[in-house]
Amino acid sequence: MKKIQVRCVKGFGVIGNLHNIEVIKPLSGFGYAKKFYCCSHCGELFVLDLNNPALKGSRELSASFNETCPRCKISLEGLIVTYPEHVVLTSGLERMDESTIVYDHEFSFIKEYWLLEVTA
């Protein structure tokens, strides 16, 4: 697995009684078409390039994706989930309602994330 640079924005959301949970998302538009996923075991973030022709028009990762998480070293098959709809907190995997997230689109940043490489 290799890393690529992704331009992102930061936001804060709510899960139950927990407020101001920091999340990020890839900046969209201007040629950017990326989607984040995370390891449901450790929370490591991964990026899927939606412009990849191997996706054949799909905007989702195949459920049979089989790679190993570089952080916790377990197989991601069946353990990779969409982010920020799912976040890993100290209490474990939690589901976040995306409508609670407020993003700061005034400031973006570039950071490297693991690329989920999909082949035809």
pLDDT tens across 70-105, in order? Answer: 999 999 888 899 999 999 999 899 999 999 999 998
Q: Residue 50 has what pLDDT?
A: 84
Residue recorded with tokens 């490591």: 44
Indicate if the pLDDT at residue 63 is higher than 70: no
pLDDT tens across 36-50, in order? Answer: 999 999 999 999 988
Q: Residue 15 has what pLDDT?
A: 95
Give the residue from 101, 113, 93, 100 showing the smallest Cα distance to 36.
Answer: 113
Distances (CA, A) of 56 to 48, 59, 76: 13, 9, 22
What distance in Å separates the CA atoms of residue 79 and residue 20, rounded to the nearest whole number?
A: 25
Output the pTM of the full model.
0.87
